[in-house]
Amino acid sequence: MRPGASLLPLLLLAAGCHGSGDTRIDFDARATADLSAITRGDCAAVAGHFDHRVAVLTAPELCAGFVTYTRQFGELRSEDRAGSVKRGALAVVRIPLHLARSAGEFRETFHADGSVAGIFFLRPGVALP
């Protein structure tokens, strides 16, 4: 047997295990990207991640909801940094919005696997469930 040949299987095994344990999702970044997609009118990119309950909402309906929201509260001027909290098995991300006529909030709820459990455009002050 060549010197060092017995190390090769161990190195391959270690290389195969590297990085396979931790696949955390950055929910704040996902919600920020989803909000950006919605404001660009690319609601299909967001709707593709809906769970089976939210999937009754179509991409055109999601975009129409955002249009209705901005008609009521004004054009989206800017947003603050996303922040998330855990509610049971769900991650709830809140993004404060600055609209032309009011403040508001984008709220998106995720399952641990990254699928969307809820998506909302809210008036300011709506409490977390």
Instruction: Indicate whether 4 pLDDT > 60.
Output: no
Tell me the pLDDT band of 61, cut-offs 50, 70 and 90: very high
CA distances (Å), origin 44, targets 63, 66, 93, 113: 9, 13, 20, 19
Closest CA to 54 of 128, 124, 114: 114
Residue range 58-65: mean pLDDT, rounded: 97
Tokens coding 10: 């161990």
Residue 129: predicted pLDDT: 77
C-alpha to C-alpha distance for 89 and 128, rounded to whole angstroms: 14
* Residue 31 scores a pLDDT above 70: yes
Query: Which residue is associated with the tokens 């947003």?
Result: 79
Q: Average pLDDT, whole number, for the chain? A: 86
Pick the CATH number of 25-122 from 3.90.1010.10, 3.10.450.590, 3.50.50.60, 3.40.50.300: 3.10.450.590
Nearest CA to 62 among 75, 79, 50? 50
**What is the mean pLDDT of the segment spanning 12-29?**
57
pTM of the predicted model, to two decimals? 0.81
